[in-house]
């Protein structure tokens, strides 16, 4: 009697168990690990009472980020959304301006635009990078945009198209060179949403160098964490000075007077959080190394399911931090996604789908978008993120 073929959810669980074998462990999606100087740094903050938006760790953390990314100026703030909000403000984004973003992104990308009264304009992604499709964007703008008075306008809405904010999905760099060329040709400002991409490189250079500004996130699930936190990065000194001023309530420096010369934001990262981040970034090379090793193990075990599932791997022009590992169900298997998610989660492996496409959310349904978002729709129905914590490679080796 022939054995009944295993269901796809059981096959995938079996592959995951080859990497994450201990059934008694709950394998979360992305957890922090504190093996460095975190505790002693925090104790120093408490001992000296420098716990708020002043203190040596803020400056130290910013310098370490600048050294690692080789981007000249870094302003640490309370979270990645605040960083993007200020980055858009710094390029003079106004109410009614449109900002191009992928439909497949985290909601914070769109929310930061909305804070300024601007309007998200949704564009499609490509399967090669999971990010903005440069060729499709070029063709779309050729049909739907016009240059007038050295600015780009949407032919249909008559509104300015101010910026493009590509997001490096799960840490995988988008194809930045053609996007930068498109922005130059259409007088659009490029801002990189690198919230998930600290430690990711495009053509040998850290992401963030192609945009006029870029942003990072240090949320608790990111490759390094400050608890909450983010950063604005730029190679432009004037923009950096403005970023620091605006995020510190626009207070004019004085030994005792409180004078503020514009509307500012209380967005600076506290010293306590920076103390955590300063210890975490010292461990970043090891975190990246372990994440890439874990990705290779996943890629190896999923090879035998290639007719049903592909493990997503970096494009040839990039070196990803593999912040979140992902499998892509082949299109014919997308109908099994929820069964797979339910089965793996019931077995202590906390997988998740990608985000709901942003243009489907109630507050963004009336925003402009490409008519053809077919790749983003397909990806959203097929992506499954896998446990990706930096310590999992060492843990899986120990339990193997």
Q: How far apart are CA 228 and CA 388, in angstroms?
A: 19
Give the per-residue pLDDT at 4. 63
Query: Model confidence at 397, in pLDDT bands (50, 70, 90)?
Result: low
Give the per-residue pLDDT at 230. 98
Q: How far apart are CA 34 and CA 224, in angstroms?
A: 10
Q: 70-119 pLDDT, tens per residue?
A: 999 999 999 999 999 999 999 999 999 999 999 999 999 999 999 999 99
Give the per-residue pLDDT at 399. 55
Bridge partner list, 327: 311, 384
- Are β-strands 201-202 and 151-154 bridged in parallel, bridged antiparallel, or unpaired? unpaired
pLDDT at 1 over 50: no
Write down the pTM of the prediction.
Answer: 0.96
Bridge partner list, 353: 384
Q: How far apart are CA 29 and CA 298, in angstroms?
A: 14
Mean pLDDT of 280-294: 98
What is the per-residue DSSP string for 76-105? EES-HHHHHHHHHHHTT--TT-EEEEESSS
Give the per-residue pLDDT at 180. 98
**Which among 19, 29, 40, 86 is positioned nearest to 293, based on CA atoms?**
19
pLDDT cut 70: percent of the chain above it:
98
**What is the residue-averaged pLDDT of the chain?**
96
Q: 208-264 pLDDT, tens per residue?
A: 999 999 999 999 999 999 999 999 999 999 999 999 999 999 999 999 999 999 999
Question: Which letter does DSSP use for residue 303 in this model?
Answer: G
Helix (H) or strand (E) holding 191: strand 189-193
Phi, psi (deg, nearest 5) at residue 194:
-105, 30
75 burial via Cβ count (<10 Å: 0-12, 13-18, 19+)? buried
Give the per-residue pLDDT at 394. 81
Give the per-residue pLDDT at 105. 98
Q: 284-302 vs 8-19: helix axis angle to the nearest 10?
A: 140
Q: How far apart are CA 285 and CA 367, in angstroms?
A: 40
Domains, the chain, ranges and CATH? Answer: 8-31+284-399 (3.90.1150.10), 38-282 (3.40.640.10)
Would you call 386 helix, strand, or coil by DSSP? strand
| Neighbour tally for 259: CB within 10 Å | 9
Q: How far apart are CA 199 and CA 4, in angstroms?
A: 45
Tell me how far CA of residue 398 lies from CA of 19, 122, 125, 181, 371, in angstroms.
11, 44, 38, 47, 49
Q: 319-361 pLDDT, tens per residue?
A: 999 999 999 999 999 999 999 999 999 999 999 999 999 999 9
Q: 370-392 pLDDT, tens per residue?
A: 999 999 999 999 999 999 999 99
Tell me how far CA of residue 286 lies from CA of 151, 183, 189, 300, in angstroms.
44, 35, 34, 21
149 burial via Cβ count (<10 Å: 0-12, 13-18, 19+)? exposed
Q: How far apart are CA 395 and CA 392, in angstroms?
A: 5
Angle, alpha carbons 261-112-105 (nearest 5°): 155
Q: 167-188 pLDDT, tens per residue?
A: 999 999 999 999 999 999 999 9
């Amino acid at each position: 009697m022939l054995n009944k073929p295993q269901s796809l959810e059981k096959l995938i669980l079996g592959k995951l168990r080859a990497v994450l074998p201990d059934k008694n462990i709950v394998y979360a999606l992305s957890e922090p690990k504190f093996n460095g100087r975190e505790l002693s740094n925090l104790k120093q903050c408490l001992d000296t009472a420098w716990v708020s938006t002043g203190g040596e760790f803020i400056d130290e953390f910013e310098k370490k980020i600048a050294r690692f990314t080789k981007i000249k100026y870094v302003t640490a703030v309370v979270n990645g959304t605040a960083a993007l909000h200020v980055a858009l403000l710094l390029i003079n984004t106004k109410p009614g301006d449109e900002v191009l973003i992928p439909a497949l992104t985290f909601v914070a990308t769109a929310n930061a635009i909305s804070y300024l009264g601007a309007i998200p304009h949704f564009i499609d992604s490509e399967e090669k990078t999971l990010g903005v499709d440069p060729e499709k964007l070029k063709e779309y703008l050729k049909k739907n945009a016009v240059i007038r008075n050295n600015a780009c306008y949407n032919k249909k809405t008559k509104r300015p198209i101010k910026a493009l904010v590509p997001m490096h999905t799960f840490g995988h760099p988008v194809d930045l060179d053609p996007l930068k060329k498109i922005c130059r040709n259409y007088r659009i400002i490029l801002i990189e949403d690198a919230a998930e991409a600290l430690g990711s490189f495009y053509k040998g250079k850290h992401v963030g160098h192609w945009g006029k500004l870029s942003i990072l996130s240090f949320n608790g699930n990111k490759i390094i964490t400050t608890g909450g936190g983010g950063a604005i990065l730029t190679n432009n000194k004037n923009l950096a000075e403005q970023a620091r001023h605006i995020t510190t309530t626009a207070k004019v420096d004085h030994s005792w007077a409180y004078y503020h010369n514009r509307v500012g934001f209380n967005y600076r990262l506290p010293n306590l959080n920076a103390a955590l981040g300063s210890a975490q970034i010292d461990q970043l090379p090891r975190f990246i190394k372990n994440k890439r090793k874990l990705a290779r193990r996943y890629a190896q075990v999923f090879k035998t399911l290639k007719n049903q599932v592909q493990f997503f791997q970096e494009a040839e022009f990039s070196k990803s931090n593999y912040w979140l590992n992902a499998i892509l169900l082949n299109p014919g298997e997308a109908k099994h996604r929820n069964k797979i998610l339910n089965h793996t989660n019931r077995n202590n492996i906390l997988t998740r789908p990608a985000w709901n496409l942003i243009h489907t959310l109630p507050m963004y349904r009336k925003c402009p978008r490409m008519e053809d978002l077919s790749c983003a729709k397909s990806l959203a129905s097929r992506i499954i993120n896998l446990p990706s914590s930096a310590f999992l490679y060492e843990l899986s080796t120990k339990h193997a």
